[in-house]
């Protein structure tokens, strides 16, 4: 694995050149601060404490929002090409890109410090985090060439050395969300997969709902919101063995 990382490191600048001109346009963030809301995994905006973080294609921008009505730009750091999504968790930002997951320390909010990069083949990839594990989906597509379709579980207990612990083949994973033992992955035309993540080394695929197109999800305390080309779907998953359909708002 180490050797491969070194090889990759040498070759990645070449791949990045390409990504400068492609890259995945869609994307996202999430946060659980009381005063902020909760986004899906595709977000490019994230709020952590008194700061708003935004990723563009190459940079992480940060704004002081201690006074919410008066966001003040505080700087930016270059991350690399193909940056797509941002997920704040505790004192860290987990940034999804077409080349991997970047982990930043934001203990000093206006001085994000890069801790590590979990690299993989180039593909679109949002990330969510819970406790010591990050869940990363990797998807191929028109704008994310050379991709696989898979879900990686990554041990981040050492933030400087993220380690893959398990990998699963997927159909066409887009957004994802985790709440306790339940992991939800939207699978594009194949809808939504519900996965038991109580053992991160051995995820168990419970069942799927494939009656709609799935783009992103927000799970929260037994209540799931899913969005896709067909519209907005809501489910009750307080009993994970029996997802209950609540409502739908269809597209026109």
Partner 1 sequence: MKIYFCQLLAFLIVISGCINEDQPVAFPEGEVEGLKPIYGNLAELKDIRIEAPRQLERPGKIYRKGGFLYINELAKGVHIIDNTDPSSPEPVAFISIPGNVDIAAKGDVFYFDNYNDLVAVRITSGNQVEVLKRIEDVLPAGNNFPPGNDVYFECVDARKGVVTGWEATILVSPKCYR
Structure tokens, 123:
């593909």
Contact 194, 243 (CB under 8 A): yes
φ and ψ of 5, to 5 deg: -60, -40
Under DSSP, is residue 89 helix (H, G, I), strand (E, B) or coil?
strand
Q: How far is the CB of 154 from partner 1 (least distance, A)?
A: 17
Q: What does the per-residue mask of binding to partner 1 show for 200-219, with x meaning CB under 8 A?
A: ---------------xx-x-
Residue 144's Cβ-side half-sphere holds a number of Cα atoms within 13 Å equal to 30
Q: Among 9, 73, 131, 204, indicate the residue that binds partner 1 (CB under 8 A).
A: 73
Closest CA to 159 of 127, 132, 187: 132
CA distance 176 to 149: 14
User: Does position 189 bind partner 1 by CB under 8 A?
Assistant: no
Residue 6 has φ and ψ, to the nearest 5°, of -65, -45
Query: 252 vs 208, 230, 238, CA distance in Å?
Result: 25, 9, 30
40 binds partner 1 (CB under 8 A): yes
212: tokens are 């709609």
Please give the Cα distance from 98 to 119 (Å, whole number).
9
Task: Count residues binding partner 1 (CB under 8 A).
Answer: 69
Binding segment for partner 1 among 19-27, 108-116, 182-190, 198-206 (CB under 8 A)? 19-27
Among residues 142 and 201, whose Cβ is nearest to partner 1?
142
Interior angle at CA 86, CA 18 and CA 90, nearest 5: 145
**Is 92 in contact with 103 (CB distance < 8 Å)?**
yes
Give me the least distance between CB of 51 and partner 1, in Å please: 10
Scanning residues 99 to 118, which ones bind partner 1 (CB under 8 A)?
none
Report the residue number, 55 or 103, with the smaller CB distance to partner 1: 55
Task: Give the x-and-dash track for 217-246 against partner 1 (CB under 8 A).
Answer: -x-x--x-x-xxx-xx-x-x---------x
End-to-end CA distance of the chain: 49
- Interface with partner 1 includes 44 (CB under 8 A)? yes
Quick check: 164 binds partner 1 (CB under 8 A)? no
Nearer to partner 1, 8 or 115 (CB): 8
Binding site for partner 1 (CB under 8 A): 4, 7-8, 11-12, 14-15, 17-22, 25-26, 28-29, 31, 33, 35-40, 42-47, 52, 54, 56-58, 61, 63, 65, 68-71, 73, 121-122, 142-143, 145-146, 215-216, 218, 220, 223, 225, 227-229, 231-232, 234, 236, 246-247, 249-252
């Amino acid at each position: 694995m180490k050797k491969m990382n070194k090889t990759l490191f040498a070759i990645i600048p070449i791949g990045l050149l390409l990504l400068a001109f492609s890259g995945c346009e869609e994307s996202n963030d999430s946060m659980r601060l009381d005063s902020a809301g909760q986004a899906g995994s595709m977000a490019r905006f994230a709020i952590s404490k008194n700061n708003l973080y935004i990723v563009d294609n190459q940079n992480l921008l940060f704004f002081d929002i201690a006074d919410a009505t008066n966001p003040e730009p505080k700087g930016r750091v270059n991350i690399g090409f193909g940056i797509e999504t941002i997920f704040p968790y505790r004192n860290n930002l987990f940034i999804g890109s077409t080349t991997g997951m970047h982990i930043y320390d934001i203990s000093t909010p206006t001085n994000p410090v890069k801790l590590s990069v979990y690299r993989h083949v180039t593909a679109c990839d949002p990330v969510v985090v819970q406790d010591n594990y990050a869940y990363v989906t990797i998807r191929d597509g028109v704008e994310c060439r050379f991709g696989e379709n898979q879900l990686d579980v990554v041990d981040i207990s050492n933030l400087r050395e993220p380690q893959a612990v398990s990998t699963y083949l997927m159909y066409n994973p887009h957004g994802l969300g985790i709440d306790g033992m339940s992991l939800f992955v939207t699978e594009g035309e194949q809808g939504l997969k519900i996965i038991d993540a109580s053992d991160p080394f051995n995820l168990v695929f419970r069942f799927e709902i494939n009656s709609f197109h799935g783009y992103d999800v927000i799970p929260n305390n037994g209540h799931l919101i899913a969005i896709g080309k067909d519209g907005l779907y809501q489910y009750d998953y307080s009993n994970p063995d029996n997802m209950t359909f609540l409502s739908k708002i269809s597209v026109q």
